[in-house]
Amino acid sequence: MTSDRPAIFSFFAGAGFLDLGFEYSGFNIVYVNEVFSSFMAAYRYSRELLKLPQPDYGYHHGEAGDVSNLVEEIQAQRLLELVNNCRKSHNIIGFIGGPPCPDFSIGGKNKGYLGDNGKLSAVYIELICQNLPDFFLFENVNGLWRTKKHRLFFESLKIRLQQAGYILTERLINAIEYGVPQNRERIILIGFYQNFIHKIKILNQLNIGFWQKHTTHSQQKILAYPWPQRQSFQADSILPCPDNIIPELTVEFWFRKNSVQNHPNAEHYFQPRAGMSKFATVDEGDDSKKSFKRLHRWRYSPTACYGNNEVHLHPYKMRRISVAEALAIQSLPENFVLPESMSLTNMFKSIGNGVPYLLSQALARTILDFLAIN
C-alpha cells in the first residue's frame, strides 16, 4: 500500500529546521544525512522531545559525498536501493537540502565551487540526477545567485538538472516575506521530474504565482515601513511598540511569543572574556558593523549569522543574545530545544546555518499545492 504522505530524503540536515517545516506540513522524513555529529545529535534530540517518529531509513552520519559515486560506488548503490524501496510504499519522493554555503557567501570564504564546501553543491545535484526523485529543493546563500562567477556555476548545475529531465523554478527569496523576523535572503531552486509531472497530469505553470501563495508580506512594502532606527542603549529599559510598523515581524514580538526568558536554552549565551563596557557603547538598533550588531526590539533582525566573529547583542540586556532568542529569530516553535550537551559554538552555528522554520513550512506547502495534495 502506498502512502499519501510524500517521502523526504534530507541531506545536510543540520539540526533539522528545514525538515521540521516539511514534516509539520504533511511530508514524511524517511532518510537523514548530516556530517557533523553534534548537529545530528541535536536533530535526534529535538525529534525525541517533539515526539516525532524516527526516519524509516535512519540517520546517516557523513558527508553527502559519501553516498555518491564520486566517493563510494557501493554507498551510491545503497542509496539508490533505498530510494527504489521507498517507491514501493510512497507515491511521491523528494530530496531536500541546503549544502554548506560559506564558499559562496559574500562575507565568507568566497572560494566558490573549488572550496571544500562549494563542491558539495555539485555533489548534491549529482545525487539528484542519479536517483531521480520526483522533486527536489536546493537552498543556498544569495551570493550563489548575485556574484557573477558563482552564478555561472549555479547555471551549470541547472543545465545538469535539466539534462536529467527536471523542470526548474527558482527565486531569490527573503525570509521576512514569510513572517520570519529577519532580513535573510536566500536562493531557492525547486525542480520537478518531467516524467513525474506528466504522469500525475499537473497543469499548473511554474510562474511567479507558484511562489506567492504562501508569502505573508511584500518585501518592498516591509522595508518601506518607518521602522525605528538607532537610539542610546539603556539596560532593562522599557520602550512601547511604535505605531505604523508590523509588530509580528519584530524581535521583541518573537521574544515574547517564544517566552525566551523561560526557555530551556535561555541561559545559553557567550559571556565576554574582558569587560563589558564596549557592549554599552553600541546603540540599540546599530547593526552597521560586521560584528557587535545590537538588535532593535521593535525591528526585524539582520541575517542570523553567528560565525566569522559576527556578534549580535541583546536590545536591552548587557549581553549577547541567547540560544533561545536566536531560535525565536529563526521562527522556531517555542518547544524546539537544543541539547545542553551541545557546545555554545555548535548551538549558534547550527542555528545560523538553518532554514527559518516559517520559511521551510511555506516552501513545503508551496510544493504540496503544486502537487495538488490537500
Which residues belong to the active site? 101
The 10 Å CB-count burial string (b at 16+, else e) for 195-226 is ebbeeeeeeeebeeebbeebbebeeeebeeee
What are φ and ψ of residue 44, in 5° steps? -65, -40
What are φ and ψ of residue 153, in 5° steps? -65, -45
Q: How far is CA 25 from the centre of its chain?
A: 15
